[in-house]
Amino acid sequence: MKRIKALSIVLPIFLILASCSKNKNGWDNYNIKGEVKTIRESSYNAVERFGKVEKGDEARRGKTLNFDSNGKLTEEDIYIGVSLSAKVIHHYDEQNKGIESLIYNASGSLDSKAIYHYDNKNNNLDVIYYNSDGDFDYKFSYKYNDKGFNTEEYLYVDEVNYSYKITYKYDNKGKRIEKVKYKPSTSFQIRETYVNDDKGNNIQTFMYDSDGICFAKFTYKYEYDEKDNWIKQITYKDKKPVELTEREIEYYN
């Protein structure tokens, strides 16, 4: 379980390769318009001065995402503060399906390897993670609806018993609107609901406990470039600004 916590900064990013619709490429999964080559993203504590939200002095975390000219996510650099924490390299087959991800630590040594498996409909069935010695570490498995959207996710820390289950729901545009996490006993643990704008970006997240009480509300405000991709995101928790994220986007043309 310690390794899962250590990789928590990496997993949410490259699991997008596995858990979204099989008909989407990397640009689609990140809700990107146009032919994007690179995204450099940095997140800071949000500071409110004289009624204006500004970024704090030091970055909390960051990432650089590199895409090929067909929209496939090929490489990621993950940062804690301004220091490189991990590098992820993604490989694909001739059908543009992700087949493996190699995760390197800050010193450049291989830390772990993820292998992707598919069914006969090209849905990703699971992603199995191996440590640097090639031993089983943990795996995620997935189930899909008839439209090809991921509706269930399981984390296994051994090859038999899962640690948690997550279910997802989508709107009629294929945007995720609900996430519910369950304990292994199938008891409800936490629920999140999402509101998206007409550009497909998440603008509100509501978090509920097992009693159905909303204990946190997040609101997101954006600034966009000329291609309608966001370049600044301000996150508010219960109306208080808590994080400011900036993006630099480089296009192929």
Task: Average the pLDDT over 184-204 and give the result.
Answer: 89
- pLDDT band of residue 13 (cuts 50, 70, 90) is very low
Tallying the residues shown for the chain, one arrives at: 253
List the CATH number of the domain containing 247.
2.40.160.190
Label residue 8 left, alpha or beta by phi (over 0 means left) and psi (-120 to 50 means alpha): alpha
Q: Identify the weakest region by mean pLDDT among 16-25, 29-38, 97-106.
A: 16-25
Q: Which domain holds residue 59?
A: 2-48+55-251
Distances (CA, A) of 86 to 43, 115, 138, 146: 17, 18, 18, 36
Please name the residues in contact with 160: beta carbons below 8 A apart, sequence gap of 6 or more: none
For the chain, what is the domain count?
1
Q: How many CA atoms lie within 13 A of 109 on its CB side?
A: 5
Tell me the whole-structure pTM to 2 decimals.
Answer: 0.88
pLDDT at 58: 83
Task: Evaluate if residue 151 carries a pLDDT over 60.
Answer: yes
Which two structure tokens, joined as six digits, stand for 93? 């087959």
Q: Indicate if the alpha-carbon torsion angle 184, 186, 191, 195 is positive or negative.
A: positive
- Rounded-to-10 torsion of CA 59, 19, 140, 188: 90
Residue 97 pLDDT more than 80? Answer: yes
